[in-house]
Chains A and B, each alone.
Chain A
Amino acid sequence: GAVVSQHPSWVICKSGTSVKIECRSLDFQATTMFWYRQFPKQSLMLMATSNEGSKATYEQGVEKDKFLINHASLTLSTLTVTSAHPEDSSFYICSASGTSPYEQYFGPGTRLTVT
C-alpha cells in the first residue's frame, strides 16, 4: 500500500516553456501533498505544501507565480514550472501523507532538464 506515482519521470524542455508534473496517490487519499526539489549532492528542499481544495503554502524563496501548484483532488496534485530556465533543472519529488504529515510516501521523482 501507500504508493505514489509521478509523471513524467523525466522531461527535457526548452527555456521559456512550461512543464507540468503530476503526482498521484494510487491507493490512499492524500490529505496533504508536498513538493520537494533536489539539486545534485544537495538535500531535499521543501518547495511547497498543498492541501486538497486550498491554495498551496510556499516556502520562503520559492516563487508561487513560477511554480504553480494545484491540488484538485485527494489523489492528485500538479506542479507547473512556468517559463522554465536552465537553473530550474533539478530533480522534483512529490510526497503524500494521510493523517500525519510526518508519514510521507514519496513519488519516484521527475528529472527536469531545461535547455
Chain B
Amino acid sequence: KAGVTQTPRYLIKTRGQQVTLSCSPISGHRSVSWYQQTPGQGLQFLFEYFSETQRNKGNFPGRFSGRQFSNSRSEMNVSTLELGDSALYLCASKSLTTEAFFGQGTRLTVV
C-alpha cells in the first residue's frame, strides 16, 4: 500500500509569487490535513478536507487556501508569498478508523 505522497519535495520561490503544493493520500483515505512546521512555532494546523469539503480551518490568513479533488488528492495554495512562509508543509491522510499518516513534506523556501 503506497504511503502519502507530497510533491514537490523542495521548492524555492521569491516574495510575491504564489505556490501550489500537492498531496496524494493513502488509497481509501478521504481526510487530508495540511500543517505548517517551522522551528519557532512548531507544527501548526492549516486546514482539513474531507470528501472535497473543507471541514476544519486553522488560524492562517486568507493567502493560504486549499482544495480536494474527487479522488481525494489535495492541493494547497499560498499566494503573495512572504519570507515568513518558508517552512516545511506536511500533509496527513486519515480514514475514519485509523491514525493519521504523514507524507515527507514539501520544504518551501521564500527568498
Do A and B actually bind?
no
Could you list which residues of chain B lie within 8 angstroms of chain A, going by C-beta atoms?
none
